[in-house]
Amino acid sequence: MTKAFRGSHSVIVTPFNDSGSDLDLGRLHAFLDWQLESGVPGVIILGTTGEFLTISDDERRRLVDATVKHAAGRYQVMVGTMNAYTASAVRYSREAQDLGADGLMIIPPYYYTPTDDEIFNYYKAICADVQLPIMIYNNPFTSNRDMKAALVARLTAAFEQVRYIKEASQDIARVFEIIEETHGVMNVFAGEKPVESFLLGAVGYVNPYGNYLPYQTTRMWTLLEEGRIKEAARIQHLVHKFDKIIAEGHPTYGHQCYSKALAAAQGYPVGDVRDPLTKFAALGEEGRTKVKAIRAVFDEIDAALIEIDGRAAA
């Protein structure tokens, strides 16, 4: 394996047309150009934020192909290839490799609450068929399984492709435990709390906020790399401020539509979410009021970056 992943990778929305009936590749290209201009080193498509559960196989192929071709080596492309059925996860992984993806992000089989051995065999089947670097994704809230450090170490030792993990268990100490248990072989990407994760050894960040603040949140991570921890923490505090506005009053993933509404508010329309998720239009005045409040926090972040660097968004 020759690919090395570091830094803040935006886990991006999937752009749809206005009716939501199909992909909108024109919107995708404009959105990807924005990511590139903002200094984002890579994107991750078809994650939870990318609504992978609503995407047909034909749309999946077209989306991966369009994203990889548009990247043309200018930034890295990781593809979410998870599925509850192992054979489908293998097929999606092989397809992404054939289409030129740089890496894969794969959560364990969801819904079934698999055992450690079932999880191990799932990744074993994928690794037997592809050579790309794999970022395993620990999110017990969607997979019904928390991959503890011992299991991560077992996977790391068994499969040379498994060298990255998105750690989103909300147990921040897990970052350090994984690094210790794998003797530093596993590269941890923060799934939350990037500042704290970095201080415990994380080398990157799977960043949902890159969908509407790509420069600002990428800069938050590069500030960490420069050793400017207080400045990065200042940006993270403001991110948490608007994140609280988004999440308030919504179920776990009921806020997904805000990612797309905020991207549109920043000048990059990407359509709305697909059913069964709540559409932004359905929120009415509540949604409009929250977006206005969130954008006021965006202004605070830009003002903070002007103080820190002398510039705001690219």
pLDDT digits (tens, 9 = 90+) for 66-80: 999 999 999 999 999
What pLDDT shows up at residue 1? 45
Higher per-residue pLDDT: 2 or 96 = 96
The Cβ of residue 306 has, within 10 Å, a number of other Cβ atoms equal to 11
Residue type at 95 in one-letter notation: E
- Using CA atoms, how far residue 137 sits from 20, 104, 202, 256, in Å, is 27, 10, 14, 19
Among 10, 75, 15, CA closest to 216: 10
Active-site entry in 92, 166, 205, 258: 166
What pLDDT shows up at residue 129? 97
What pLDDT shows up at residue 310? 83
pTM for this one?
A: 0.96
Q: What is the length of the chain?
A: 314
| % helix, strand, coil for the chain, step of 5 | 50, 10, 35
92 part of the active site: no
Q: What is the pLDDT of residues 114-152, one digit of tens each?
A: 999 999 999 999 999 999 999 999 999 889 999 999 999
Active-site entry in 75, 137, 205, 215: 137
Q: State the Cα–Cα distance between residues 117 and 181, nearest whole angstrom.
A: 18
Q: Which domains does the chain have, with CATH numbers?
A: 7-226 (3.20.20.70)
Find the DSSP H helices in 226-284. 229-247, 256-265, 280-283
φ and ψ of 182, to 5 deg: -100, 10
Q: What is the pLDDT of residues 177-211, one digit of tens each?
A: 999 999 999 999 999 999 999 999 999 999 999 99
166 part of the active site: yes
- Give strand pairing partners of 67: none
pLDDT confidence tier of residue 6, bands split at 50, 70 and 90: very high
